[in-house]
């Protein structure tokens, strides 16, 4: 009975440990993906800003 209670209350279930590790790895992978996408977004935003700035700095065309 005590063994059953221990397993129910807090014994380490190998399946639970395995699932927890898998989920932690998935979270790390997703956090890495977010960082990569944020960096890519920052680069694209700077490129758009540079293009918009250079377009407004030009001399107007003569008609």
Q: Is the pLDDT of residue 56 over 70?
A: no
**Mean per-residue pLDDT for 31-49?**
95
Give residue-wise pLDDT tens across range 1-26: 566 655 555 567 889 889 999 999 99
In the chain, % helix, strand, coil (3-state, to 5) comes to 85, 0, 15
Instruction: Report the predicted TM-score, pTM, of the whole model to 2 decimal places.
Output: 0.61
In sequence order, the 6+-apart residues with CB closer than 8 A to the CB of 13 are: 7
């Amino acid at each position: 009975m005590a063994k059953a209670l221990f397993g129910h209350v807090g014994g380490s279930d190998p399946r639970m440990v395995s699932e927890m590790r898998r989920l932690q790895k998935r979270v790390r992978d997703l956090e890495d993906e977010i960082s990569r996408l944020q960096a890519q977004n920052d680069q694209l935003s700077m490129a758009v800003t540079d293009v918009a700035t250079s377009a407004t700095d030009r001399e107007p065309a003569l008609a």
